[in-house]
Structure formats: structure tokens, C-alpha cells
Amino acid sequence: MLIGLQVLGGLVSAAILFLVAAGLTLIFGVCRVLNLAHGTFYMLGLYAAYSLTTALHGLPGAFWLALVLVPLLWAAIGAVLEAVLFRRLYGVDVLLQILPTIALVFLGQDLVRAVWGLTPRLVSTPPALLFPLHIFGVTAPAYYAFVVLAGIVVAAGLWLLIARTDWGLLVRATARDRVVAATLGVDTGRIMTSVFALSMALVGLAGVLFAPIGGASPGMGVDSTVEAFAVVVVGGLGSVWGSAAAALGFGMLKSFGILVAPRFAVAFVFVAMAAVLVFRPAGLFRAPE
């Protein structure tokens, strides 16, 4: 009974972690930039979901609208951000690369303070998914199962996109050898813009999905970046499948860690990260080159 609840909670954490980490690892893998503001956009996604659903108060479909609109908007913001800012950072010294992304973190926090203040904001669960679901021998809100399902569907879609489409092939080629790809006629700049847009859509989706579960609060952007970074490092920088596996492991570890030592649940994740890196410095799913 208790175990079932922890499993479900772990899967929910894993789904969210995966959606955030997948974008972070894609941006790193293809553009070679570590975007420390990635979690900030997760946080902003939650607030955007809050504002959108509050603005559309009476509407029953408000949450679903946010679920579609926020990722689309985030993709557009991602494309613009890549074109005006990140494009200038490619191939630059790592420190110089990271500084502007830290600036974005502060900008995001100030924006949250100015617009939403310090009070946590919760989005109400869509009425259609309020009913209790009997699963793993426990009774839980159907919304939890929906989040897990959404995570699985997106992961499968991402796999199809990257492994099976022409666009995915160009993304993989650009990630591995930007120069050769360009000499074969691939507009690698456009590929990077679209990868950024996709990554931002994923993190926006993660934000909306988590909004009815945890709500939005000002410090969560940095926390999310740090956790997603751990997932990405353990999974192997640039490996989406590594991130999926690591997110699953971390989600479970967090969920069961809370049972053992509530105050150290997050610390377990980092102990696990250190342990993995001792034995596989390149991460779980990346062959050392």
C-alpha cells in the first residue's frame, strides 16, 4: 500500500525530471552550451500555467489550454532566445558561456518576484482528472497517472523523432560533427534553433504538468536546474535515453528516500550521482570517446 504510493510518486517525479532533463541534455548535446537557466523556464512554465488558468477562471478547459499554449509559447521564446543570445555563445570559453545563462536565472527570479510575489501558487487539478484511481494497490488522483502517461508518451515521441525522422538524423549529425554536416548542405544553425525550441517546449510542458501537483514557488528554478543537471550527468551528457533512465532512478530514489530519511531525500540523489560517476565518468549511457 505504502510502497504503491511511493512507486507512483517516484514515477511522477521521474516523468517531470525527464521532461526537464531531456531539454537540458538536447541543448548540451547539439549546441554544446550548458543552459543554467533551463530550470528557470520550468519555474516560469508553472507560473504561466497559474496565470493562464486563473485568467480563464470559469472555463473548464483552462488547464488543457495551458497544456498546449505554454509549450508552444516556450518553443517560440526558445527560438528567439537561441537566435539573439545563445547562438553567440557557441564555441566560446565555458565561463563566458555560462555567465549569460546565470544572468537569465536572476532575470527569471526578479520577474517572478515582481509579477507573482513570494506566495506559492497552486493550479487546480483539471476536473476531468479529479476522480480517484485504483492503481498499484493504492488509491491516488487520476491526475498522477496522467502525468506519468504524458511522460511516457513524450519519451516515446521523442525517440521516434530523433531515431526515425529525417529531422532527427540531421540533429544527430549536427550533434556529432557540425562542420561535416554543414559541408553536406545541412543548415546547422537552423537545426540548433529548432532543438532549442523543442527543448523549451518540453520544459514548458513539464512546468504545466507539475503545476497542479506541487505549485509554483520562487526558488524552484535553481533546484530544478541542479536536479536536472544531476540526471543529465548520470545519464551521459547529450544522451536523451540516458536521461530517461537516470530520471527514473532519481525519481524512485527521491520517493523512497523520503520514507527512510525525509530530510535527506534530495541528498540521496547526489550521493547516487557521485557513485555513478566514480564508476562511469562519462555517465551511464555514453560510450567514452
Partner 1 sequence: MLELEGVHAAYGATPALFGLSLTVAPGQVAALLGRNGAGKTTTLKSVVRLVTVTAGRVRFRGEDLARLPPHRIALTGIAYVPEERRIIAGLTVEENLRVTRRSPAARAAWPIERAYDLFPPLAGLRHRPGTRLSGGEQQMLCIARALMLDPAILLLDEPTEGLAPAVIEVLGERLATLKAAGLAILLAEQSSVLVARLADTAHVIDRGAIRYSGTLADFRADRQATEHLLFVG
Q: Which residues lie near partner 1 (CB under 8 A)?
A: 166, 169-170, 172-173, 176-177, 179-189, 289
User: How far, in Å, are 100, 244, 277, 283 from residue 234 at the CA level?
Assistant: 25, 10, 7, 5
d(CA 49, CA 211): 7
Sign of the alpha-carbon dihedral angle for 256, 259, 264, 265: positive
> Phi, psi at residue 139, to the nearest 5°?
-110, 120
Give least dist CB 182 to partner 1, A.
Answer: 4
Amino acid at 135: I
Give least dist CB 192 to partner 1, A.
Answer: 12
- Sort strands 138-141 and 132-135 into parallel, antiparallel or unpaired: antiparallel
Give least dist CB 147 to partner 1, A.
Answer: 31
**Which residue, among 28, 41, 39, has the nearest Cα to 70 in the 3D structure?**
41
Give least dist CB 185 to partner 1, A.
Answer: 4
* 193 burial type by CB count under 10 A (0-12 exposed, 13-18 middle, 19+ buried): buried
Q: With residue 40 as reference, give the H or E element that holds it.
A: helix 38-55
**Which residue, among 201, 256, 250, 217, has the nearest Cα to 18 in the 3D structure?**
250
**Which residue, among 106, 111, 110, 119, has the nearest Cα to 215 in the 3D structure?**
119
The smaller minimum CB distance to partner 1, of residues 58 and 185, is found at 185
The smaller minimum CB distance to partner 1, of residues 110 and 177, is found at 177
d(CA 276, CA 112): 35
The smaller minimum CB distance to partner 1, of residues 113 and 164, is found at 164
Give least dist CB 112 to partner 1, A.
Answer: 39
Give least dist CB 188 to partner 1, A.
Answer: 7
The smaller minimum CB distance to partner 1, of residues 102 and 180, is found at 180
The smaller minimum CB distance to partner 1, of residues 54 and 165, is found at 165
DSSP 87: G
The smaller minimum CB distance to partner 1, of residues 182 and 258, is found at 182
Give least dist CB 189 to partner 1, A.
Answer: 8
The smaller minimum CB distance to partner 1, of residues 83 and 142, is found at 83
